[in-house]
């Protein structure tokens, strides 16, 4: 039997108070994930929690081993993943405390390994085939629906859809960059949403992002710009609420075998050259 069916990639604040948490370490062909997996039961479902930045929050966004993280989750049985993250709002109406469930992503990262199919031999000598994944709709529609329903059930008027632009970080945007992002019509800016969503797709996992706005990005406000302190403060104020929404969303996700979204069939007809865990 699998250890878990649903994965949550977020901070320790999402699982630290659960009664029965089992910590396991998982190694992957891509190296070590950010931390141990923490297994617990939420809403009758087995969930694997993974602190994205490590439990001490020591990994900056560009040093996170995203490939190992998604691989580790899949290897313990996870097939649906929720990825909460903190973001900056690119529109004045998306102020601190806004919850937005994006339906599009733009990649402006620079240095990250973002595919399992890069032609580099794996430890066992096998070489993955080139695989161009379909990514027109980066997020699982069923997981998005579950997240939005959970938010509304907790009277949090979440924004349904929008574009998450992911920057390399760890610095925040300059005012010019931020204005440019906003001028494109993009909604929120973060540092971890890519390549998480793309890698989940390559592994045939359902994935949805829940973005919590912690600040107005530099181009959307007129003050001093965003500070790390502000981000932590707003996130801390909302983490309990976000946890409730996440847990409700976990309960609202379809059973693994009952999914009709198509995320699991992304490899149909392809010879991968690697064996998925
Ligand atoms: Zn799906």
In tens, the pLDDT along 197-235 reads 999 999 999 999 999 999 998 777 766 667 888 888 888
In tens, the pLDDT along 41-50 reads 999 999 999 9
Q: What is the pTM of this model?
A: 0.94
When pLDDT is cut at 50, 70 and 90, the band that residue 271 belongs to is: low
In degrees and rounded to multiples of 5, residue 122 shows phi and psi of -85, 175
Q: Which fold has domain 6-265?
A: Rossmann fold (3.40.50)
What is the arithmetic mean of pLDDT over 82-107?
96
In degrees and rounded to multiples of 5, residue 189 shows phi and psi of -130, 130
For the ranges 7-16, 114-123, 130-139, 190-199, the maximum mean pLDDT occurs at: 190-199
Q: Which of 27, 215, 230, 268 is catalytic?
A: 215
| CA 91 / ligand 1 centre spacing (Å) | 29
Q: What is the pLDDT of residue 103?
A: 98
| CA 74 / ligand 1 centre spacing (Å) | 14
Closest residue by Cα to residue 85 from 21, 14, 183, 145 = 14
| CA 173 / ligand 1 centre spacing (Å) | 32
When pLDDT is cut at 50, 70 and 90, the band that residue 126 belongs to is: confident
Q: Give the residue numbers of the binding site for phosphate.
A: 12, 52-53, 192
| CA 128 / ligand 1 centre spacing (Å) | 23
User: CA-to-CA distance for 185 and 133, rounded, in angstroms?
Assistant: 25
Q: Give the residue numbers of the binding site.
A: 12, 52-53, 191-192, 215-217
CB neighbours of 56 closer than 8 A, spacing ≥ 6?
Answer: none
Cis peptide before 17 (omega within 30 of 0): no
| CA 234 / ligand 1 centre spacing (Å) | 30
Residue ranges per domain, the chain? 6-265
Closest residue by Cα to residue 163 from 190, 202, 133 = 190
Q: Give the residue numbers of the binding site for substrate.
A: 191, 215-217
Q: Verify whether residue 35 is a known catalytic residue.
A: no
| CA 262 / ligand 1 centre spacing (Å) | 6
Closest residue by Cα to residue 65 from 119, 111, 15 = 111
Q: Verify whether residue 257 is a known catalytic residue.
A: no
């Amino acid at each position: 039997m699998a250890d878990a069916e649903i994965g949550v990639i977020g901070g320790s604040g999402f699982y630290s108070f659960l009664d029965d948490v089992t910590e396991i370490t998982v190694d992957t062909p891509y190296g070590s994930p950010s931390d141990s997996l923490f297994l617990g039961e939420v809403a009758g479902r087995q969930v694997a929690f993974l602190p994205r930045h490590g439990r001490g929050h020591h990994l900056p966004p560009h040093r996170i081993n995203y490939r190992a993280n998604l691989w580790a989750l899949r290897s313990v049985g996870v097939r649906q993943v929720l990825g909460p993250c903190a973001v900056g709002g690119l529109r004045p109406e998306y102020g601190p405390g806004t919850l937005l469930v994006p339906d599009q992503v733009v990649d402006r990262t620079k240095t990250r390994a973002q595919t399992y199919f890069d032609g580099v031999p794996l430890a066992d000598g096998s070489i993955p085939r080139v695989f161009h994944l379909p990514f027109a709709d980066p997020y699982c529609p069923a997981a998005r629906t579950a997240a939005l329903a959970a938010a509304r059930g907790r009277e949090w008027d979440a924004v349904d859809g929008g574009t998450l632009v992911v920057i390399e970080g760890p610095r925040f945007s300059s005012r010019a960059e931020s204005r440019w992002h906003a001028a494109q019509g993009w909604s929120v800016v973060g540092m971890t949403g890519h390549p998480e969503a793309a890698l989940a797709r390559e592994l045939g996992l359902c994935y949805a992002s829940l973005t919590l706005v912690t600040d107005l990005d530099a181009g959307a406000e007129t003050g001093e710009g965003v500070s790390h302190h502000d981000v932590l403060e707003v996130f801390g104020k909302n983490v309990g609420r976000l946890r409730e929404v996440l847990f409700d969303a976990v309960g609202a996700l379809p059973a693994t075998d009952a999914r009709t979204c198509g995320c699991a069939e992304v490899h149909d007809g392809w010879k991968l050259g690697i064996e998925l865990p």
